[in-house]
């Protein structure tokens, strides 16, 4: 398969990146994190949510006749990859999937969340909740910008739904891919700036190996995510989510190692990527279940 982006797809990716850099840059991210720490709970920026809706973020896949942009899943993957890169908070996937079905979701006037495996994100703030969330209780979230509720262990689970094997799982994988690519860039940039023992740390072979492995993980995940976006095959989506989860978590850890002691501080952004990657990896189908599904299909 040829995964080179078309001119229109590059323009879409660049447009989403410019939008997020202008509206949710590092300063805005840190302000949201600090505000959530002071308040004890994250609050969604409703104005930003509506701006995303006005820009067509949630209606990318809706037909033009229904007020959408008329694009497909590959283009949606590019947009969500940028969202993951920027650590954009909120139930983006659930709201995107609800566009065209729930009034106001496409325009960003309504925020939608959904039962997604054992965890439900943004349950208290959501305007619409999809799925059975009876008995959900607040759960401590490691990510300061993703409040969570946990469903009872015996709660009914949707088998093969969009969050497990469909577009929801793929778009979550795309967010993981964006985060994995971003932490690779952060590690390489720091290795080019930080001096120890009289030379840049990027000159040390151990650091080079870490950065190279991060790039390999991100690019393997990218191939899997882009391929699954083209085929839409549930098993390929399953594999893409596994690879993207692994790339996001392990790249964030390696990025933290490249940063050394600085990476462990609150001021560094590395821990935010790692915590979000952990939360995303815990949504939808578990890694063990995904591996069993892939093994059964061999």
**pLDDT at residue 56, rounded to an integer:** 95
Calpha distance 196→203 (Å, rounded): 10
**5 Cα distance to chain centroid:** 20
Q: Looking at beta carbons, which pairs linking 201-206 to residues 24 or more positions away fall under 8 Å?
A: 201/258
Residue 155, CA atoms < 13 Å, CB-side half-sphere: 20
SS3 at position 119: strand
Q: What is the CATH superfamily name and number for domain 7-113+122-128? A: Acyl-CoA dehydrogenase/oxidase, N-terminal domain (1.10.540.10)
Q: What are the residues facing 149 on neighbouring strands? A: 120, 138
Q: Where are the domains of the chain?
A: 7-113+122-128, 167-296
List own/partner pairs for 16-24 with CB under 8 A and 24 or more apart: 16/57, 16/78, 16/79, 16/82, 16/83, 17/82, 17/85, 17/86, 19/51, 19/52, 19/55, 20/82, 20/83, 20/85, 20/86, 20/88, 21/86, 23/48, 23/51, 24/48, 24/86, 24/88
Q: What does the pLDDT read at residue 117? A: 79
Q: Is the separation of the CB atoms in 169 and 236 below 8 Å? A: no
Residue 14 is predicted with a pLDDT of: 96
The closest of 110, 115, 148, 117 to 130, measured between CA atoms, is 115
Strands (E), 104-250: 112-114, 119-121, 128-130, 137-139, 148-150, 195-196, 199-200
Q: Do domains 7-113+122-128 and 167-296 have the same CATH topology?
A: no
pLDDT of the residue at 255: 97
- What pTM does this model have? 0.94
Q: Would strands 195-196 and 148-150 be described as parallel, antiparallel, or unpaired?
A: unpaired
The whole-number pLDDT of residue 285 equals 78
Closest by CA position to 106, among listed 93, 96, 91: 96
User: pLDDT at position 164, please?
Assistant: 65
Distance of alpha carbon 168 from alpha carbon 171, whole angstroms = 5
Local structure of 56: helix, strand or coil: coil
DSSP string, 67-117: TS----HHHHHHHHHHHHHHT--S-HHHHHHHTTTSTTTTTTSS-EEE-BT
Question: Which pLDDT does position 41 carry in this prediction?
Answer: 83
**Mean pLDDT, 10 residues at a time, over the chain (298 residues)?**
86 96 95 91 91 96 89 96 97 95 95 88 94 91 94 69 78 97 98 94 96 98 96 93 97 96 88 96 84 87
**Confidence at residue 293, expressed as pLDDT on a 0 to 100 scale:** 85
Q: Cα–Cα distance between 91 and 155 in angstroms, integer?
A: 21
Residues 6+ apart with CB under 8 A from 255: 183, 184, 186, 187, 214, 263, 270, 273
CATH 3.50.50.60 fits 167-296, yes or no: no
Q: Give me the pLDDT at residue 35, please.
A: 93
Neighbours of 257 (CB within 10 A): 14
């Amino acid at each position: 398969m040829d995964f080179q982006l078309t001119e229109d797809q590059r323009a879409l990716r660049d447009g989403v990146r410019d939008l997020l850099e202008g509206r949710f840059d590092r300063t805005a991210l840190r302000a949201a994190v600090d505000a959530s720490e002071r308040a004890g709970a994250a609050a969604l920026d409703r104005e930003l949510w509506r701006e995303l809706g006005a820009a067509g973020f949630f209606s990318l896949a809706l037909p033009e006749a229904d007020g959408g942009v008329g694009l497909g899943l590959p283009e949606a993957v590019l947009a969500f990859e940028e969202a993951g890169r920027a650590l954009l908070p909120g139930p983006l996937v659930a709201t995107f999937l609800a566009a065209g079905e729930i009034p106001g979701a496409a325009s960003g006037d309504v925020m939608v969340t959904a039962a997604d495996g054992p965890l439900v994100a943004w349950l208290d703030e959501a305007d619409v909740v999809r799925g059975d969330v009876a008995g959900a209780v607040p759960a401590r979230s490691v990510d300061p910008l993703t409040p969570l509720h946990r469903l009872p262990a015996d709660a009914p689970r949707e088998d093969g739904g969009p969050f497990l094997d469909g577009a929801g799982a793929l778009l979550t994988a795309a967010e993981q891919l964006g985060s994995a690519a971003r932490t690779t860039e952060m590690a390489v940039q720091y290795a080019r700036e930080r001096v120890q023992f009289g030379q840049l740390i990027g000159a040390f072979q151990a650091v080079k190996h870490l950065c190279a492995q991060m790039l390999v993980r991100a690019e393997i995940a990218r191939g899997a995510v882009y391929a699954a976006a083209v085929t839409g095959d549930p098993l390929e989506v399953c594999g893409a989510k596994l690879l993207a989860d692994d790339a996001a978590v392990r790249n964030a850890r390696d990025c933290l190692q490249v940063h050394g002691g600085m990476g462990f501080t609150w001021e560094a952004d590395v821990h935010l990527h790692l915590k979000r990657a952990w939360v995303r990896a815990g949504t939808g189908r578990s890694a063990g279940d995904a591996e069993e599904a892939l093994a059964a299909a061999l």
